[in-house]
Amino acid sequence: MSGADLSRCSLNTATVKRASLAEAVDAAASAGLGAVGLWRHQVQEHGAEKAARIVSDAGLRVSSLCRGGFLTAADDVGIAAALDDNKRAISETAGVGTRELVFVVGGLPALSEPGQGPRADAGPGDRDLVAARARVADRIAELAPFAAAHDVRIVLEALHPMFAADRAVISTLGQALDLAAPFDAATVGVVVDTYHVWWDPDLRASIARAGAEGRIASYQVCDWSLPLAADPLNSRGHVGDGYIDFPTVSRWVAETGYAGDVETEIFNEDVWAADPRVTARTVGERYARHVLPHL
Protein backbone atom coordinates (compact mmCIF):
# COMPACT_ATOMS: atom_id res chain seq x y z
CA MET A 1 0.00 0.00 0.00
CA SER A 2 2.98 2.34 0.37
CA GLY A 3 2.91 5.02 -2.25
CA ALA A 4 -0.88 5.29 -2.36
CA ASP A 5 -2.15 8.85 -2.59
CA LEU A 6 -3.69 9.52 0.80
CA SER A 7 -4.21 13.25 0.24
CA ARG A 8 -8.02 12.91 0.31
CA CYS A 9 -7.97 10.55 3.28
CA SER A 10 -9.04 12.29 6.48
CA LEU A 11 -8.96 11.04 10.06
CA ASN A 12 -11.96 12.15 12.06
CA THR A 13 -10.51 12.69 15.52
CA ALA A 14 -13.37 10.77 17.16
CA THR A 15 -11.65 7.67 15.76
CA VAL A 16 -8.77 8.36 18.18
CA LYS A 17 -10.89 10.04 20.79
CA ARG A 18 -8.53 9.47 23.72
CA ALA A 19 -5.75 11.38 21.93
CA SER A 20 -5.23 15.12 22.39
CA LEU A 21 -5.64 17.28 19.31
CA ALA A 22 -1.85 17.43 18.91
CA GLU A 23 -1.59 13.64 19.20
CA ALA A 24 -4.41 13.06 16.72
CA VAL A 25 -2.84 15.45 14.23
CA ASP A 26 0.53 13.80 14.71
CA ALA A 27 -1.04 10.38 14.08
CA ALA A 28 -2.72 11.54 10.88
CA ALA A 29 0.42 13.24 9.61
CA SER A 30 2.64 10.27 10.46
CA ALA A 31 0.33 8.01 8.43
CA GLY A 32 0.55 10.34 5.43
CA LEU A 33 -3.10 11.39 5.52
CA GLY A 34 -4.21 14.70 4.07
CA ALA A 35 -6.71 16.00 6.59
CA VAL A 36 -8.42 15.65 9.94
CA GLY A 37 -12.05 16.11 10.93
CA LEU A 38 -12.38 17.96 14.22
CA TRP A 39 -14.89 18.18 17.05
CA ARG A 40 -16.08 21.33 18.75
CA HIS A 41 -14.62 20.53 22.16
CA GLN A 42 -11.15 20.62 20.58
CA VAL A 43 -11.80 24.00 19.02
CA GLN A 44 -13.19 25.28 22.30
CA GLU A 45 -10.22 23.94 24.28
CA HIS A 46 -7.56 25.64 22.15
CA GLY A 47 -9.51 28.43 20.50
CA ALA A 48 -10.25 28.25 16.80
CA GLU A 49 -7.09 30.03 15.67
CA LYS A 50 -4.69 27.86 17.64
CA ALA A 51 -6.56 24.65 16.74
CA ALA A 52 -6.32 25.63 13.08
CA ARG A 53 -2.58 26.26 13.47
CA ILE A 54 -1.97 22.88 15.13
CA VAL A 55 -3.51 21.28 12.05
CA SER A 56 -1.87 23.45 9.40
CA ASP A 57 1.57 23.30 11.05
CA ALA A 58 1.45 19.54 10.46
CA GLY A 59 0.68 20.10 6.78
CA LEU A 60 -2.91 18.96 7.13
CA ARG A 61 -6.31 20.43 6.29
CA VAL A 62 -9.50 20.45 8.35
CA SER A 63 -12.08 18.44 6.41
CA SER A 64 -15.09 19.15 8.64
CA LEU A 65 -16.22 20.12 12.11
CA CYS A 66 -18.55 17.96 14.23
CA ARG A 67 -21.12 18.95 15.21
CA GLY A 68 -24.10 21.19 15.25
CA GLY A 69 -27.68 20.10 15.43
CA PHE A 70 -30.01 18.84 18.18
CA LEU A 71 -32.83 20.88 16.72
CA THR A 72 -35.92 18.93 17.81
CA ALA A 73 -36.84 20.70 21.06
CA ALA A 74 -40.49 21.74 21.11
CA ASP A 75 -40.37 24.34 23.90
CA ASP A 76 -39.28 27.96 23.56
CA VAL A 77 -36.32 27.64 25.92
CA GLY A 78 -35.03 24.55 24.12
CA ILE A 79 -35.46 26.18 20.73
CA ALA A 80 -33.62 29.33 21.79
CA ALA A 81 -30.79 27.28 23.31
CA ALA A 82 -30.43 25.23 20.11
CA LEU A 83 -30.26 28.36 17.94
CA ASP A 84 -27.67 29.98 20.23
CA ASP A 85 -25.47 26.92 20.38
CA ASN A 86 -25.59 26.36 16.64
CA LYS A 87 -24.65 29.97 15.95
CA ARG A 88 -21.59 29.47 18.16
CA ALA A 89 -20.81 26.27 16.24
CA ILE A 90 -21.06 28.15 12.94
CA SER A 91 -18.64 30.80 14.19
CA GLU A 92 -16.21 28.12 15.38
CA THR A 93 -16.39 26.41 12.00
CA ALA A 94 -15.45 29.56 10.15
CA GLY A 95 -12.63 30.16 12.62
CA VAL A 96 -11.04 26.75 12.34
CA GLY A 97 -10.69 26.80 8.58
CA THR A 98 -13.40 24.58 7.11
CA ARG A 99 -16.76 25.35 5.56
CA GLU A 100 -18.42 22.08 6.58
CA LEU A 101 -20.30 21.86 9.89
CA VAL A 102 -21.88 18.42 10.32
CA PHE A 103 -25.33 18.44 11.93
CA VAL A 104 -26.79 15.57 13.95
CA VAL A 105 -30.31 16.87 14.25
CA GLY A 106 -31.54 15.11 17.41
CA GLY A 107 -34.17 12.50 18.18
CA LEU A 108 -37.63 12.59 19.66
CA PRO A 109 -37.57 14.90 22.66
CA ALA A 110 -39.42 12.34 24.85
CA LEU A 111 -36.12 11.47 26.45
CA SER A 112 -34.28 11.85 29.67
CA GLU A 113 -30.99 10.50 28.32
CA PRO A 114 -30.24 9.05 24.87
CA GLY A 115 -30.78 5.31 24.89
CA GLN A 116 -32.65 5.20 28.19
CA GLY A 117 -36.26 5.02 27.02
CA PRO A 118 -39.07 7.56 27.16
CA ARG A 119 -39.65 9.72 30.22
CA ALA A 120 -42.42 8.47 32.50
CA ASP A 121 -44.33 11.70 31.82
CA ALA A 122 -43.93 11.60 28.02
CA GLY A 123 -47.09 12.83 26.35
CA PRO A 124 -48.52 11.77 22.99
CA GLY A 125 -46.89 14.76 21.26
CA ASP A 126 -43.47 13.54 22.35
CA ARG A 127 -43.79 10.58 19.97
CA ASP A 128 -44.88 12.72 17.02
CA LEU A 129 -42.06 12.02 14.58
CA VAL A 130 -43.68 14.01 11.79
CA ALA A 131 -43.78 17.10 14.01
CA ALA A 132 -40.19 16.61 15.20
CA ARG A 133 -39.05 16.49 11.58
CA ALA A 134 -41.01 19.65 10.81
CA ARG A 135 -39.24 21.42 13.69
CA VAL A 136 -35.88 20.45 12.20
CA ALA A 137 -36.91 22.11 8.94
CA ASP A 138 -37.96 25.25 10.84
CA ARG A 139 -34.64 25.48 12.73
CA ILE A 140 -32.60 25.00 9.55
CA ALA A 141 -34.51 27.87 7.95
CA GLU A 142 -33.69 30.05 10.95
CA LEU A 143 -29.99 29.15 10.93
CA ALA A 144 -29.32 29.22 7.18
CA PRO A 145 -28.92 33.01 6.83
CA PHE A 146 -26.42 33.05 9.72
CA ALA A 147 -24.48 30.17 8.16
CA ALA A 148 -24.47 31.88 4.76
CA ALA A 149 -23.22 35.12 6.30
CA HIS A 150 -20.28 33.20 7.82
CA ASP A 151 -19.63 31.22 4.63
CA VAL A 152 -20.30 27.99 6.52
CA ARG A 153 -22.35 25.06 5.24
CA ILE A 154 -24.90 23.28 7.41
CA VAL A 155 -24.19 19.62 6.57
CA LEU A 156 -27.17 17.40 7.34
CA GLU A 157 -26.28 13.89 8.42
CA ALA A 158 -28.78 11.08 8.02
CA LEU A 159 -28.25 8.67 10.89
CA HIS A 160 -29.07 4.98 10.70
CA PRO A 161 -32.79 4.41 11.43
CA MET A 162 -31.86 2.60 14.65
CA PHE A 163 -31.04 6.08 16.01
CA ALA A 164 -34.33 7.73 14.93
CA ALA A 165 -35.80 7.72 18.45
CA ASP A 166 -32.88 9.08 20.41
CA ARG A 167 -30.32 10.75 18.11
CA ALA A 168 -31.49 11.92 14.70
CA VAL A 169 -34.89 12.09 13.06
CA ILE A 170 -33.16 12.36 9.65
CA SER A 171 -32.99 8.71 8.63
CA THR A 172 -32.18 8.64 4.91
CA LEU A 173 -30.02 10.60 2.51
CA GLY A 174 -33.12 11.35 0.43
CA GLN A 175 -34.82 12.90 3.45
CA ALA A 176 -31.70 15.00 4.15
CA LEU A 177 -31.81 16.21 0.55
CA ASP A 178 -35.49 17.08 0.84
CA LEU A 179 -34.70 19.18 3.92
CA ALA A 180 -31.77 20.84 2.13
CA ALA A 181 -33.74 21.53 -1.04
CA PRO A 182 -35.10 24.99 -0.12
CA PHE A 183 -31.57 26.34 0.40
CA ASP A 184 -28.54 27.13 -1.69
CA ALA A 185 -26.20 24.15 -1.99
CA ALA A 186 -23.38 26.27 -0.58
CA THR A 187 -25.41 26.83 2.59
CA VAL A 188 -27.05 23.45 3.27
CA GLY A 189 -25.38 20.20 2.22
CA VAL A 190 -25.34 16.54 3.19
CA VAL A 191 -22.82 13.93 4.27
CA VAL A 192 -22.78 10.45 2.81
CA ASP A 193 -21.80 8.25 5.77
CA THR A 194 -21.59 4.60 4.79
CA TYR A 195 -22.42 3.32 8.26
CA HIS A 196 -25.73 5.12 8.28
CA VAL A 197 -26.89 4.73 4.68
CA TRP A 198 -25.35 1.53 3.25
CA TRP A 199 -28.62 -0.44 3.57
CA ASP A 200 -30.78 2.09 1.70
CA PRO A 201 -32.42 0.67 -1.46
CA ASP A 202 -32.48 4.24 -2.85
CA LEU A 203 -28.82 4.92 -2.05
CA ARG A 204 -27.50 5.06 -5.59
CA ALA A 205 -30.26 7.45 -6.69
CA SER A 206 -29.87 9.60 -3.59
CA ILE A 207 -26.08 9.88 -4.00
CA ALA A 208 -26.55 10.83 -7.66
CA ARG A 209 -29.08 13.47 -6.66
CA ALA A 210 -26.80 14.83 -3.92
CA GLY A 211 -23.99 15.11 -6.43
CA ALA A 212 -26.11 16.70 -9.13
CA GLU A 213 -27.27 19.29 -6.62
CA GLY A 214 -23.71 20.00 -5.45
CA ARG A 215 -24.56 19.11 -1.88
CA ILE A 216 -22.04 16.36 -0.99
CA ALA A 217 -20.00 18.04 1.74
CA SER A 218 -18.28 14.89 2.98
CA TYR A 219 -17.95 11.20 2.25
CA GLN A 220 -17.51 9.41 5.56
CA VAL A 221 -16.53 5.76 5.77
CA CYS A 222 -16.56 3.05 8.38
CA ASP A 223 -17.96 -0.46 8.37
CA TRP A 224 -21.12 -2.13 9.70
CA SER A 225 -19.91 -4.77 12.15
CA LEU A 226 -21.92 -7.47 13.88
CA PRO A 227 -22.88 -8.32 16.53
CA LEU A 228 -23.91 -4.82 17.52
CA ALA A 229 -22.05 -3.47 20.57
CA ALA A 230 -23.90 -3.10 23.86
CA ASP A 231 -24.07 0.58 22.96
CA PRO A 232 -24.91 0.29 19.24
CA LEU A 233 -23.44 3.74 18.71
CA ASN A 234 -20.03 2.11 19.15
CA SER A 235 -20.48 -0.78 16.72
CA ARG A 236 -18.55 0.72 13.83
CA GLY A 237 -15.56 -1.08 12.42
CA HIS A 238 -12.54 -0.31 10.27
CA VAL A 239 -13.34 -0.27 6.56
CA GLY A 240 -13.21 -3.87 5.33
CA ASP A 241 -14.04 -5.54 8.66
CA GLY A 242 -17.81 -5.69 8.15
CA TYR A 243 -20.58 -5.97 5.60
CA ILE A 244 -20.44 -2.78 3.57
CA ASP A 245 -19.68 -2.93 -0.15
CA PHE A 246 -17.17 -0.03 -0.28
CA PRO A 247 -16.18 -0.48 -3.93
CA THR A 248 -19.78 -0.03 -5.05
CA VAL A 249 -20.70 2.88 -2.77
CA SER A 250 -17.39 4.64 -3.46
CA ARG A 251 -18.00 4.29 -7.20
CA TRP A 252 -21.45 5.82 -6.84
CA VAL A 253 -19.90 8.77 -4.97
CA ALA A 254 -17.12 9.14 -7.54
CA GLU A 255 -19.62 9.06 -10.43
CA THR A 256 -21.06 12.34 -9.14
CA GLY A 257 -17.68 14.02 -9.59
CA TYR A 258 -17.14 14.38 -5.84
CA ALA A 259 -13.51 15.39 -5.33
CA GLY A 260 -13.48 16.15 -1.61
CA ASP A 261 -12.14 14.34 1.41
CA VAL A 262 -13.01 10.84 2.53
CA GLU A 263 -13.24 10.94 6.28
CA THR A 264 -12.98 7.87 8.48
CA GLU A 265 -15.03 8.17 11.66
CA ILE A 266 -15.15 5.10 13.88
CA PHE A 267 -16.81 4.81 17.28
CA ASN A 268 -15.50 1.56 18.74
CA GLU A 269 -14.01 0.75 22.14
CA ASP A 270 -11.31 -1.52 20.66
CA VAL A 271 -10.24 1.13 18.17
CA TRP A 272 -10.17 3.75 20.93
CA ALA A 273 -7.88 1.50 22.99
CA ALA A 274 -5.34 1.24 20.16
CA ASP A 275 -2.30 3.47 19.62
CA PRO A 276 -3.48 6.51 17.61
CA ARG A 277 -0.58 6.18 15.13
CA VAL A 278 -1.48 2.54 14.51
CA THR A 279 -5.13 3.48 14.04
CA ALA A 280 -4.25 6.26 11.59
CA ARG A 281 -2.04 3.87 9.60
CA THR A 282 -4.87 1.32 9.46
CA VAL A 283 -7.26 4.05 8.29
CA GLY A 284 -4.85 4.91 5.47
CA GLU A 285 -4.31 1.27 4.49
CA ARG A 286 -8.01 0.45 4.41
CA TYR A 287 -8.74 3.59 2.41
CA ALA A 288 -6.03 2.66 -0.07
CA ARG A 289 -7.32 -0.90 -0.41
CA HIS A 290 -11.13 -0.56 -0.37
CA VAL A 291 -11.97 3.03 -1.34
CA LEU A 292 -9.25 4.81 -3.34
CA PRO A 293 -9.23 2.38 -6.31
CA HIS A 294 -12.91 3.15 -6.86
CA LEU A 295 -12.79 6.93 -6.59
Which spans of this chain sit near a second copy (rule: CB under 8 A)? 108, 110, 115-118, 124, 127-130, 133, 160-162, 164-166, 171-172, 174-175, 178, 198-201, 224-228, 230-232, 242-245, 247-248
Distance from CA of residue 131 to its chain's centroid? Answer: 24
Q: How far is the CB of 130 from a second copy (least distance, A)?
A: 7
Between residues 230 and 259, which has the closer beta carbon with respect to a second copy? Answer: 230
Instruction: Assess contact for 239 and 287: CB atoms under 8 A.
Output: yes
Minimum CB separation of residue 226 from a second copy in Å reads 5
C-beta of 149 vs 228, nearer to a second copy: 228
Nearest residue (CB) to a second copy, 200 versus 285: 200
Q: Which of 225/282 has CB closer to a second copy?
A: 225
Smallest gap from Cβ 239 to a second copy, in A, equals 12
Are 251 and 204 in contact by the 8 Å Cβ rule? The answer is: no
CB of 124 to a second copy, least distance (A): 7
**How far is residue 78's CA from residue 57's CA, in Å, rounded to a whole number?**
39
Sign of CA dihedral 178, 245, 7, 60: positive
Alpha-carbon torsion angle 157, 100, 232, 277, nearest 10:
150
CB of 200 to a second copy, least distance (A): 7
User: Rounded to an integer, what distance in angstroms lies between the CA atom of residue 215 and that of residue 207?
Assistant: 10
72 neighbors 99 (Cβ within 8 angstroms):
no
Looking at beta carbons only, is 92 or 200 nearer to a second copy? 200
Residue whose C-alpha is closest to residue 126's, from 82, 74, 179: 74
